[in-house]
Structure 1
Amino acid sequence: MTNANTPIRVAVIGTSVISASFAEAVAAATGIRIEAVYSRDADRAAEAATEFGADWSSDSLDEVLGSPLIDAVYIASPNSVHAEQVAAAITAGKHVLVEKPAVLTAQEWRDLVAQAQDAGVVLLEAMRTEYDPGTALVRSLLPQLGTLRLASLRYAKRSSRYDLVLAGERVNMFDPALGGGALADLGVYCLHAMVGYFGMLDRLSTAVVPVPSGVEGAGTITASYPGLIVDLSYSKISTTQLASEIQGEDATLVIDEIAAPRVVELTHRDGTVTRHEVPGDPHPLAGEIDRFVALIAAGEDPSAEQLLTAQTLELIERARATTT
């Protein structure tokens, strides 16, 4: 398979925009390279392989997973097929980095984690929020806020494909049969950040704005912790101009972007403001790729991250079950 001097050879499953972004980040990373691209459309697979700098392509997933030239897979296919593709990759002895949301239910994820452990391969959700240096910056500043009381986490960006939905066309990211919807696509960043910052919650309530396909186009979640209330808002049919915010009794933290913080301002009770910036211009997917490589190379334990994924998936299920 791999050793310390050999890059991890990855097959990309799926040819969407996020796959192109992944390829861009891999090109700047060390210890990993894209070997192949899979798509059900052979022409699209070949085209993407050229675009991503891969050596070969295929329209046969069995061929890709059976190849000794592949050490790992990056799965960026529709949400509804993640679970079966992850399971097939693990069975083939491949490490797996799977786009968020990793699967549709927390139990599916727990089962796959157990399967990966038995097979001795790494399974990691490609949740960029967890591995972004801006997230680490926010986490380091939280103690300065004192007792936390209120937080507002937001991710709302109108999809360029929403017009197709309004025109009556079928669009993957808005298709309930494919596990689409704004909660799974954008709201998941808010949920994951919330659990990462504050832990698992006591209660939640939700409200959504559905689109014609039946999934949520926008929505809100109110989460209750002992002494702390967190409101989350997300949308793929409108765009927010507001930052996210965490309020404590001693200070308030304003975060420019919840999925990839770059500028964070800390306002103390006396009115003084401290501005913190993430240095450089890190690629938003660089952190997850570096972590994936490190887990494979060093044989580290990803169980804490896998638990956070399970908790986030559980909250998506709970939110949808309590939708009003």
Structure 2
Amino acid sequence: MINLVTIGSSVITVAFARAVDEVEGIRVAVAYSRDAERARAFADEIGAAGSSADLDAVLADPEIHAVYVGSPNGVHAAQVRQALRAGKHVLVEKPAVATSAEWRDLVDEARRADRVLIEGMRLAYDPGTAAIRDLLPSLGVLRRASLHYQKRSSRYDDVLAGRQVNIFDPALGGGALADLGVYGVHAAVLLFGRPDAVRAASVPIASGADGAGILLLEYPGLVVDVAYSKITNSDRPSEIQGEEATLSIDEIVSARRLTRRGIDGSVSEQEVPGGRHSLRGEVARFVDLIRTGAPADEDQERTFLTLETMERARAALAG
């Protein structure tokens, strides 16, 4: 049994703990928070047997084998490094770290320690994404794609009221590109590879972070736009357009309805089984990598290219 400690007590950590409950061979043994009372309350909430406000002590425990890092983005790197140096496997919530160079350093650290390190990018391990990849050859030569994830955060009301919150605090790595745009970028990297060129535009908000934006990713013969927002909503589906057919995707983060429309007028629909926004796939992948000792090179390279693409977008925004 893989005993895991969670770092962070937000909604995403609750979702992660629920996913752990669905995967054999792993359990949340300890919930960590800097505040002991909060740690105990959160442990009760997610069904963890133990709680702690002493991270050093938890990481020194030989009965703890793995760590989930779900803290604010800005502290991911330090906590991942601390866990790896303590000999623990690590699954870190997206975005893993701030820069591609920082990620490379952590990957090297994991390899030296012979530990597993992957990013919790749920769409990479979702059956909907696998179904999209299977359908791509049927579209013919790919020419256009539009990947969207735009969901207004309830915490934006705090920003409008003049209060600073972690997810909109640039000092903690917050903002719409880091939180939601990363999904579209990761999907583009997974489906199409590294873009040749990256252009970008964004909407700044009062906290100093970006509230919404769009990236234009250029590939040989293919143009992809990635739209994201944490201050507005959209139910518009994503699309991938080929010369033979267009694929409509109900939601790129958790695809469950795929519609292929051929240039000959044919229409076919595919329903992908599975719950919405499940983190089960990433947990199962993490467990499999630990059990088998298989390399995580492909997983780590996708994270690297995603971070690199977002860095190129920020450089484009800076002019």
TM-score band by shorter chain is over 0.9
Q: Tell me which of 72, 78, 96 is aligned to 2:72.
A: 78
**What residue is the counterpart of 2:153 in the other structure?**
159
Q: Does 1:285 align with 2:279?
A: yes
* 2:302 counterpart residue number: 308
Q: Secondary structure at the match of 2:317?
A: coil
Residue 273 of structure 1: which of 267, 273, 281 is its match?
Answer: 267
Q: For 1:148 and 1:171, how far apart are their aligned partners in 2?
A: 40
Q: Equivalents in 1 of 2:111, 2:63: separation in Å?
A: 22
Q: How many residue pairs align between the two structures?
A: 318
For 2:43, the aligned partner's letter is A
Residue pairs, 1:214-225, within 5 angstroms: 214-225=208-219
Equivalent residue in structure 1 for 2:82, among 81, 85, 88: 88
Match of 1:203 in 2: 197
| 3-state SS of paired residue (2:146) | strand
What is the identity, as a one-letter code, of the residue corresponding to 1:48? Answer: F
Report the CA distance between 1:119 and its aligned residue. Answer: 0.4
Equivalent in the alignment of 1:245: 239
In structure 2, what is the Cα distance between the partners aligned to 1:258 and 1:282? 11
CA distance in 2, matches of 1:58, 1:282: 31
C-alpha distance in structure 2 between counterparts of 1:296 and 1:29, whole Å: 13
- Tell me if the contact between 2:202 and 2:317 (Cα under 8 Å) persists in the aligned partners: yes
Residue type of the partner of 1:279? P
Instruction: Evaluate the alpha carbon distance shift between residue 282 and residue 323 of structure 1 in structure 2; reply closer, same or farther with a 3 A threshold.
Output: closer
- Structure 2 match to 1:43: 37
The correspondence for 2:183, drawn from 184, 189, 193, is 189
2:7 and 2:280 mapped to 1: Cα distance?
Answer: 18
Cα contact 1:25–1:283 (8 A) shared by 2: no
Amino acid of the structure 2 residue aligned with 1:208:
S
- Work out the CA distance in 1 between the residues paired with 2:277 and 2:247: 23
* C-alpha distance in 2 between matches for 1:168 and 1:266: 45
- What's the offset of the Cα at 1:280? 3.9
The equivalent of 1:60 in structure 2 is 54
- Distance, in Å, in 2 between the alignment partners of 1:150 and 1:139 is 15
CA-CA distance at 1:282 after TM superposition: 6.3
Q: Separation in 1 of the partners of 2:277 and 2:173?
A: 27
DSSP 3-state at the match of 2:206: coil
Q: Which residue of 1 aligns with 2:248?
A: 254
* Alignment match, 1:104: 98
Number of the residue aligned with 2:143: 149
C-alpha separation in 2, matches of 1:320 and 1:188: 12
Q: Distance between the aligned counterparts of 1:134 and 1:8, measured in 2?
A: 27
The corresponding residue for 1:322 is 316
- Partner of residue 123 from structure 1, selected from 96, 117, 126: 117
Amino acid at match of 1:44: R
Q: Indicate conservation of the 8 Å contact 2:122/2:277, yes or no.
A: no
1:136 counterpart SS class: helix
Counterpart of 2:108?
114
- TM superposition score normalised by structure 2: 0.98
Q: Report the CA distance between 1:61 and its aligned residue.
A: 1.1
How many percent of aligned residue pairs carry the same amino acid? Answer: 57
Question: Cα–Cα, structure 1 residues 90 and 280, in superposed 2: closer, same or farther, change >3 Å?
Answer: closer
TM-score after normalising by structure 1: 0.97
After TM superposition, give the deviation of residue 283 of structure 1 in Å: 5.7
Give ranges in structure 2 of 5+ residues lacking alignment.
Answer: none
Q: Could you tell me whether the CA contact under 8 Å between 1:99 and 1:127 is conserved in 2?
A: yes
CA–CA separation in structure 1 for the residues paired with 2:58 and 2:96: 20
Say whether the 8 Å CA contact 2:254–2:277 is kept in structure 1.
no
Aligned residue number for residue 3 of structure 1:
none
Instruction: Tell me the amino acid that sits aligned with residue 243 of structure 1.
Output: P
Distance 2:194 2:277 in 1: 29
Q: How far off is 1:281 after superposition?
A: 2.9
Q: Secondary structure at the match of 1:51?
A: helix
CA contact (8 A) 1:35 1:69 kept: no
Query: Could you report, residue by residue, the CA deviation over 1:125-157 in whole angstroms, capped at 9, with x for unpaired residues?
Result: 000010000000000000000000011000000
Residues 39 and 53, structure 2, Cα contact 8 Å, conserved in 1: yes
Distance 1:190 1:249, change over 3 A: same
Q: Distance in 1 between matches of 2:70 and 2:298?
A: 23
SS across alignment from 2:27: strand
